[in-house]
């Protein structure tokens, strides 16, 4: 049997590791457009960007691991077509047959033409090279403008301030992370960044003139799942590749994981696409099992974390489009606290900030009554 993996990020790296650990000894080919073997992306806006961690820590394995485990890793190689009927993919003009196919093509930063055409140097953050560019640019006294106050924007803002840059953040919403955290907890992140000297401009629309004073503009306005291959192949696509609870696409021999997978979640009872580290890892493991014949449902609740200045937090669960009735906050929003989002008397999401003894507490709170 031959399993082909398209994409060479964390989800792909985890999947091939699990396949070998589960005893699969058939052909295993991985195609990745980047020059690097699979690596984690969180360090690019956290430890590596801050200069605290070497890039080697981000790689799933040392490069030699793939050959040692008979994984045919083809970096700098882009898959250009999938033929589900013929069970073939095309890469660099060459055709490869497969028995099972795993899509892990990830997502790309959402572009902002206004910034790209402003004449001010503009950057996005997705790859090691992107992070390297930011590290060089983040010199003491440099003027850095950031568009978007989501997770990437705020983590980059923290790194830039720690490096001594003058930082301005532009955000259309009235608070950073408002759509994710709601006003009660989002205010804590606004206060955090202002306390560290960030010029946080909320409820604003950016113009090209606003960007002229900066040495560098970083755009962090979300990501778009890389679905072009899947769409061209005729797979069901809607904000990602539509997959069932087993991470199987509309074609029974093609699975999708990570940023690209829009899963019908068996616990939430609705579709969800999650662009976070934990999901890439755990979906990689589940997909590996199912590629080998299992029928495991991926029922893990979404989880993510962030580090900004002296604040570290973990969040688990999903509020969803129905929102929440209230959020219960225990502790000090400007220090150490726990937060519980409650809908119909049940906890649908929870987080801890600077309260690491509460990690298990918040995870176990999901679904409980309050």
285 with 320, same domain? no
Handedness of CA 237, 240, 244, 246 (dihedral sign): positive
pLDDT (tens digit, 9 = 90+) per residue, 257-282? Answer: 999 999 999 999 999 999 999 999 99
| Length reported for the chain | 370
118 with 194, same domain? yes
- Asked if residue 302 is part of any domain, the answer here is no
Number of domains composing the chain: 3
Residue 272, token pair as written in the block: 């969800």
Task: Tell me whether strands 303-308 and 311-317 are parallel, antiparallel or unpaired.
Answer: antiparallel
DSSP state of 118: S
**Residue span of the structural domain in which 120 resides:** 111-219
* pLDDT tens for each residue of the chain, 370 residues long: 999 999 999 999 999 999 999 999 999 999 999 999 999 999 999 999 999 999 999 999 999 999 999 999 999 999 999 999 999 999 999 999 999 999 999 999 999 999 999 999 999 999 999 999 999 999 999 999 999 999 999 999 999 999 999 999 999 999 999 999 999 999 999 999 999 999 999 999 999 999 999 999 999 999 999 999 999 999 999 999 999 999 999 999 999 999 999 999 999 999 999 999 999 999 999 999 999 999 999 999 999 999 999 999 999 999 988 899 999 999 999 999 999 999 999 999 999 999 999 999 999 999 999 9
List the Cα angle 292/295/298 in 5-degree steps: 105
pTM reported for the whole predicted model:
0.95
Domain boundary pick from 263, 291, 319: 291
What is the model's pLDDT at position 321? 84
Q: What's the rounded Cα separation, in Å, for the pair 188 and 194?
A: 10
pLDDT (tens digit, 9 = 90+) per residue, 103-126? Answer: 999 999 999 999 999 999 999 999
What is the model's pLDDT at position 322? 85
What is the model's pLDDT at position 320? 85
Contacts of 125 (CB under 8 A, 6+ apart): 44, 45, 109, 131, 134, 152, 156, 218, 220
pLDDT (tens digit, 9 = 90+) per residue, 231-260? Answer: 999 999 999 999 999 999 999 999 999 999
Domain boundary pick from 219, 247, 262: 219
Q: How many CB atoms lie within 10 A of CB 325?
A: 12
- CB burial readout 328-348, b (16+ within 10 A) else e: eeeeebeebbbbbbbeeebbb
Domain boundary pick from 219, 242, 264: 219
């Amino acid at each position: 049997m031959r399993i082909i993996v398209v994409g060479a990020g964390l989800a792909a790296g985890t999947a091939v590791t699990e396949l070998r650990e589960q005893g699969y000894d058939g052909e295993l080919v991985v195609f990745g457009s980047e020059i690097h073997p699979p690596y984690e992306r969180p360090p690019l806006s956290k430890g590596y960007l801050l200069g605290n961690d070497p890039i080697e820590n981000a790689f799933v394995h040392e490069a030699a691991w793939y050959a040692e485990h008979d994984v045919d890793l083809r970096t700098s190689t882009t898959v250009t077509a999938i033929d589900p009927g013929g069970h073939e993919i095309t890469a660099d003009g060459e055709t490869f047959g497969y028995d099972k196919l795993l899509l892990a093509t990830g997502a790309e930063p959402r572009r902002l033409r206004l910034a790209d055409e402003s004449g001010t140097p503009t950057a996005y953050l997705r790859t090691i090279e992107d992070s390297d560019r930011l590290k060089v640019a983040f010199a003491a006294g440099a003027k850095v403008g950031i568009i978007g106050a989501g997770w990437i924007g705020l983590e980059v803002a923290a790194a830039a301030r720690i490096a001594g840059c003058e930082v301005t953040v532009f955000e259309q919403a009235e608070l950073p992370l408002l759509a994710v955290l709601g006003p009660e907890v989002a205010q804590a992140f606004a206060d955090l960044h202002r306390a560290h000297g960030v010029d946080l401009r909320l409820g604003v629309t950016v113009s090209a003139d606003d960007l002229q004073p900066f040495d560098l503009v970083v755009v962090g306005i979300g990501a778009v799942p890389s679905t072009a291959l899947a769409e061209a192949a005729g797979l069901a696509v809607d904000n990602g590749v539509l997959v069932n609870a087993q991470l199987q696409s509309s074609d029974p021999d093609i699975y999708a994981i990570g940023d690209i997978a829009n899963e019908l979640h068996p616990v939430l009872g609705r579709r969800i696409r999650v662009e976070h580290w934990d999901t890439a890892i755990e979906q990689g493991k589940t997909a590996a099992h199912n590629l080998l014949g299992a029928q495991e449902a991926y029922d893990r609740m979404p989880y993510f974390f962030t580090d900004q200045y002296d604040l570290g937090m973990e969040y688990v669960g999903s509020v969803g489009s129905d929102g929440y009735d209230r959020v219960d906050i225990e502790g000090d929003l400007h220090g150490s606290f726990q937060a519980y989002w409650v809908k119909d008397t049940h906890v649908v999401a929870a987080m801890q900030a600077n309260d690491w003894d509460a990690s298990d507490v918040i995870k176990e709170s999901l679904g409980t009554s309050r």
